């Protein structure tokens, strides 16, 4: 039987984690097992979707046989496939990590359904081709993320409420834009809209509302204020997935809409503005990371800075389109996941994550330090890591089109990144008394962090695949 | 009818924005309720407020015979109402929980998240 002929792999990418999540609600005692099986199955299903794309090319699936413009379509193409794989590959180690991280049964019961629902929602976001459905996925995404942040206990409630309020405003902007688009064109399917969109003031307003809404959710400076407390205060696996995947999902959506739907309206001035915000994010995020008094805060501010790179990359979409941005998103997802998992290990061992006292924990957990260092190498952009590949693509696109300022910002910011990464690594080689461990860090927790770190490095060798997939199946 | 609803939408947006700029977190929440209702109303009005029959296809025909009301905005607005209801219910619980912890209604007391 030719498996690739099976028409529903794309739908299963959404349904498998959703079903597993539902099952985890029904049988909370088996949450750990269901989580792992669900994660592995989702990976297999994404593999099936890849086979389908390889043999049949881009797919449009009409749910319930209702075609556009009335029905909702799912769409599988190159960029969506890359995001599906990134999510699956980053989520699997995080799943393994979370099995040992959450200690009380109460936390386990609450975590697993939400985690699988989050995964399903992200997959749905990558695959949707309908504006209103995209709004629903965005709303679900922020909703589930907020609950996951609040899992950390009473201290995280303040961070959670900030996160919720900012994201609600972002969704509201997106919803209004959807309403305006429907009012103007009478349809919501992205592909059909893309053929019709004209540069009218109304469409411009929709573009502005949608972009601001998505930038709030992607935490681009200066709309990032909700991110550091939420990502630093959440439980370690949740921080990892929020920083690695959730903020990228809304960036992916922004890119998709700008490249397809709004391409007549996206001018050089607009992309330059986003690029300037990106430079601001790199400077501000790096500076705050250098000043941070706690490890997880440092990593969270590093996310703010690294999201600035995506802003910079967006200035190059007219010459390079998807490739540099997606490569950067994938490289950063692996690296930041590894960093947060490692930081979670140090926090668990030391009972806190204060930078001043963390060095004993760093010395006690060499594998996690190695994972952190590998992730740091990718963030700085040293060869042969995934971060290097992404920066190389960005740099060559910037130089080819003669944008020296962007090239300069790219090179200079690598130094800033190195400063805050070494601020942590330097503490691992300080002499001092041995650690009296407060909590137990299981080997699996260390190795899953290392796995993600290795993935961030290995990605440097996968450049050809990314180029091929994007060249062969564009949106 | 549409100009009147446009004014209502504008009023809702104005009062909603005013409310979310207040310092009290409960008022902020009320502001969000108003804003999401305004957005829902916009969706509802976008299709135009025409009189039309339900979009039912008679037996034997392949399309409705008369001018029908656009069913899509109604479906969208229903979904949007359900979502905003869920989100606001959750936000209310979260605000309540915050209030129990910090014992204040002032948004400025929430700025310190480094605890």
The per-residue pLDDT for range A30-83, each reduced to its tens digit, is 888 999 999 999 999 999 888 888 888 787 888 777 776 777 888 888 889 999
Check CB contact under 8 Å for A165 and B35: no
Nearest to A162 among B70, B102, B110 (CB): B110
Among all residues of chain B, which has the CA nearest to that of A135?
B80
pLDDT exceeds 90 at position B99: no
Query: Could you tell me how far CA A383 lies from the centroid of its own chain?
Result: 22
Among all residues of chain A, which has the CA nearest to that of B41?
A179
Mean pLDDT for all residues in chain A: 88
- Determine the Cα angle at A174 with ends A172 and A176, to 5°: 70
- pLDDT on residue B63: 76
Cβ contacts of A132 on chain B, cutoff 8 Å: 76, 79
Res. A7 pLDDT band, cuts 50 70 90: low
pLDDT exceeds 70 at position A180: yes
What is the pLDDT averaged over residues A448-471?
87
Cβ contacts of B95 on chain A, cutoff 8 Å: 161
pLDDT exceeds 60 at position A409: yes
What residues are paired with A59 via a beta bridge?
A76
pLDDT exceeds 70 at position A27: yes
- pLDDT on residue B112: 62
CA distance A351 to chain B (A): 14
Q: What are the structure tokens assigned to A305, written together?
A: 């800075």
Quick check: A188 contacting B, CB < 8 Å? yes
- pLDDT on residue A470: 80
Among all residues of chain B, which has the CA nearest to that of A231?
B113
Check CB contact under 8 Å for A157 and B79: no
Nearest to A157 among B70, B76, B94 (CB): B94
Give a yes or no: residue B45 inside a domain: yes
pLDDT exceeds 70 at position A126: yes
A 34-93 residues with CB < 8 A to B: 70
The count of domains in chain B is 1
pTM recorded for the entire structure = 0.91
pLDDT exceeds 60 at position A20: yes
* CATH code (residue B21): 1.10.287
- pLDDT on residue A206: 92
Res. A263 pLDDT band, cuts 50 70 90: confident
What is the pLDDT averaged over residues A424-431?
88
- What ipTM was predicted for this assembly? 0.89
B114 vs A309, more confident:
A309
Quick check: A225 contacting B, CB < 8 Å? no
Q: Which helix (H) or strand (E) holds A61?
A: strand A59-62
Quick check: A109 contacting B, CB < 8 Å? no
pLDDT tens, position by position, A290-302:
999 999 999 999 9
- pLDDT on residue B113: 52
Among all residues of chain A, which has the CA nearest to that of B94?
A161
Check CB contact under 8 Å for B101 and A157: yes
Percentages (nearest 5) of helix, strand, coil residues in chain A = 80, 5, 15
**How many CB atoms are closer than 10 A to CB A68?**
18
CA distance B52 to chain A (A): 17
Closest CA to A365 of A344, A337, A335, A379: A344
Nearest to A182 among B28, B36, B73 (CB): B73
Res. A3 pLDDT band, cuts 50 70 90: very low
Check CB contact under 8 Å for A150 and B94: yes
Check CB contact under 8 Å for A182 and B114: no
Let me know: does A339 contact A295? Beta carbons within 8 Å.
no
Let me know: does A247 contact A160? Beta carbons within 8 Å.
no
- Determine the Cα angle at B19 with ends B17 and B23, to 5°: 120
CA distance A464 to chain B (A): 42
Let me know: does B42 contact A179? Beta carbons within 8 Å.
yes
pLDDT tens, position by position, A345-367:
999 988 888 888 888 888 888 89
Give a yes or no: residue B21 inside a domain: yes
Q: Taking phi first (over 0 means left), then psi (-120 to 50 degrees means alpha), and beta for anything else, what does residue A219 get?
A: left
- pLDDT on residue B111: 67
Q: What are the structure tokens assigned to A287, written together?
A: 């500076």
Domain that holds residue B99: 2-50+67-104
Cβ contacts of A161 on chain B, cutoff 8 Å: 25, 91, 94-95, 98, 110
Mean pLDDT for all residues in chain B: 83
Let me know: does A454 contact A374? Beta carbons within 8 Å.
yes
CA distance B8 to chain A (A): 15
Quick check: A355 contacting B, CB < 8 Å? no
**How many CB atoms are closer than 10 A to CB A433?**
8
CA distance A424 to A299: 10
Query: Could you tell me how far CA A11 lies from the centroid of its own chain?
Result: 21
pLDDT tens, position by position, A128-171:
988 999 999 999 999 899 999 988 877 788 888 888 888 988 99
What residues are paired with B24 via a beta bridge?
B106
3-state secondary structure of A71: coil
- The pLDDT > 70 percentage for chain A reads 98
Among all residues of chain B, which has the CA nearest to that of A179?
B43
Cβ contacts of A226 on chain B, cutoff 8 Å: none
- pLDDT on residue A4: 44
- The pLDDT > 90 percentage for chain A reads 42
- pLDDT on residue B51: 73
What is the pLDDT averaged over residues A373-402?
89
Res. A198 pLDDT band, cuts 50 70 90: confident
- Domain ranges, ordered by start, for chain A: 1-127, 148-259, 267-475
Query: How far is the CA of A21 from the CAs of A15, A37, A91, A187, A216, in angstroms?
Result: 10, 11, 14, 32, 28
Cβ contacts of B42 on chain A, cutoff 8 Å: 176, 179-180, 183
Give a yes or no: residue B96 inside a domain: yes
| DSSP structural state of residue A402 | T
CA distance A252 to A325: 9
Quick check: A168 contacting B, CB < 8 Å? yes
3-state secondary structure of B68: strand
- pLDDT on residue A68: 67
Res. A1 pLDDT band, cuts 50 70 90: very low
Among all residues of chain B, which has the CA nearest to that of A181?
B46
**Look-up of token digits 């893309």:** A194
Res. B59 pLDDT band, cuts 50 70 90: confident
What is the pLDDT averaged over residues A102-118?
89
pLDDT exceeds 70 at position A5: no
Burial A238-275 (b: 16+ CB within 10 A, else e): bbbbbbbbbbbbbbbbbbbbbbbbbeebbeeebbeebb
CA distance B53 to B68: 5
Res. A448 pLDDT band, cuts 50 70 90: very high
- pLDDT on residue A148: 92
Which of B10, B96, B113 has the highest number of chain A CBs within 10 A, making it the mutation to test binding with A? B113
């Amino acid at each position: 039987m030719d498996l690739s002929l099976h028409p529903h792999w794309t739908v299963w990418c959404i349904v498998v984690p959703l079903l597993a999540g539902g099952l985890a609600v029904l049988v909370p005692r088996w949450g750990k097992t269901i989580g792992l099986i669900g994660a592995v199955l989702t990976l297999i299903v994404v593999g099936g979707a890849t086979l389908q794309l390889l043999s049949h090319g881009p797919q449009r699936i009409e749910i319930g046989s209702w075609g556009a413009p009335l029905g909702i379509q799912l769409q599988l193409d190159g960029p969506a496939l890359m995001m599906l794989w990134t999510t699956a590959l980053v989520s699997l180690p995080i799943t393994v990590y979370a099995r040992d991280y959450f200690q009380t049964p109460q936390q386990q019961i609450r975590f697993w359904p939400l985690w699988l629902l989050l995964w399903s929602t992200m997959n749905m976001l990558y695959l949707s081709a309908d504006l209103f459905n995209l709004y629903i996925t965005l709303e679900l995404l922020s909703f589930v993320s907020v609950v996951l942040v609040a899992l950390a206990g009473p201290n995280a409630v303040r961070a959670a409420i900030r996160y919720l309020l900012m994201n609600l405003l972002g969704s509201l902007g997106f919803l209004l834009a959807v309403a305006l688009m429907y009012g103007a064109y009478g349809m919501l399917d992205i592909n059909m809209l893309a053929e019709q969109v004209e540069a009218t003031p109304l469409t411009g307003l929709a573009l502005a509302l949608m972009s601001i809404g998505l930038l709030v959710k992607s935490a681009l400076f200066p709309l990032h204020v909700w991110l550091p407390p939420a990502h630093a205060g959440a439980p370690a696996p949740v921080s990892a997935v929020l920083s690695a995947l959730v903020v990228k999902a809304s960036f992916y959506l922004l890119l998709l809409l700008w490249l397809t739907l709004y391409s007549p309206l996206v001018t050089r001035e607009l992309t330059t503005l986003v690029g300037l915000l990106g430079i601001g994010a790199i400077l501000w995020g790096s500076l705050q990371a250098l000043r941070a008094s706690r490890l997880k805060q440092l990593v969270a501010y590093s996310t703010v800075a690294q999201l600035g790179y995506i802003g910079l990359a967006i200035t190059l979409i007219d010459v390079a389109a998807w490739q540099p941005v997606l490569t950067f998103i994938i490289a950063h997802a692996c690296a930041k996941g590894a960093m947060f998992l490692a930081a979670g290990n140090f926090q668990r061992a030391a009972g806190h994550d204060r930078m001043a006292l963390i060095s004993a924990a760093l010395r006690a957990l060499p594998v996690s330090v190695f994972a952190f260092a590998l992730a740091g190498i990718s963030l700085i952009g040293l060869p042969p890591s995934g971060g290097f590949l992404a920066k190389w693509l960005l740099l060559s696109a910037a130089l080819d089109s003669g944008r020296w300022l962007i090239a300069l910002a790219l090179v200079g910011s690598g130094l800033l990144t190195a400063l805050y990464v070494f601020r942590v690594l330097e503490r691992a080689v300080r002499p001092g008394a041995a650690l009296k461990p407060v909590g137990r860090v299981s080997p699996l927790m260390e190795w899953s962090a290392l796995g993600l770190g290795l993935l961030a490095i290995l990605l440097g060798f996968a450049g050809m695949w990314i180029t091929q997939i994007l060249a062969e199946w564009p949106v | 009818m549409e100009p009147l609803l446009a004014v209502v939408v504008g009023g809702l947006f104005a009062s909603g924005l005013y409310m979310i700029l207040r310092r009290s977190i409960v008022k902020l929440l009320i502001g969000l309720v108003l804003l999401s209702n305004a957005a829902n109303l916009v969706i509802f009005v976008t299709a135009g407020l025409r009189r039309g029959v339900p979009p039912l296809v008679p037996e034997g025909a392949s399309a409705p015979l008369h001018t029908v009301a656009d069913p899509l905005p109604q479906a969208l607005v229903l979904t949007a109402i359900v979502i905003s209801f869920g989100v606001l219910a959750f936000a209310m619980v979260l605000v309540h929980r915050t209030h129990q912890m910090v014992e204040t209604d002032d948004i400025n007391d929430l700025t310190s998240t480094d605890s």
